[in-house]
Amino acid sequence: MAKESATSVSSEEKSAGAPKKARGQVYILQERCKGCGYCVEFCPLGVLVMSSRFNAKGYHYPEVAHAEKCSGCDLCGMYCPDFSIHGARRPTKE
């Protein structure tokens, strides 16, 4: 399932003229977030933005705005005081 969706995303990317593949991936647990904004502020590549939506607790949570920029450095994961976000490097198969 996940593989299929990933391939479909990449084909979309190609059609949009942005074939660059991201080196990393951000994983977000929206419901655990308390909206401190550390990840958005300190992401060195500006991958994240604060969502305008709320989670069940009433906090704004981060969203991925530029997935193609993510390097998987996991700095967001180190800053997050609520353990709700982390980054991981994608395996380089090519």
Binding residues vs another protein (CB under 8 A): 1-2, 5-6, 9, 25-30, 32, 34-38, 41-42, 59, 64-68, 75, 77-86, 88
In the complex, the smallest distance separating the C-beta of residue 91 from another protein, rounded to whole angstroms, is 12
Q: How far is CA 82 from CA 4, 15, 39, 91, in A?
A: 31, 37, 11, 26
In the complex, the smallest distance separating the C-beta of residue 15 from another protein, rounded to whole angstroms, is 14
Q: Are 85 and 61 in contact (CB under 8 A)?
A: no
In the complex, the smallest distance separating the C-beta of residue 24 from another protein, rounded to whole angstroms, is 11
Residue nearer to another protein on the CB measure, 64 or 93: 64
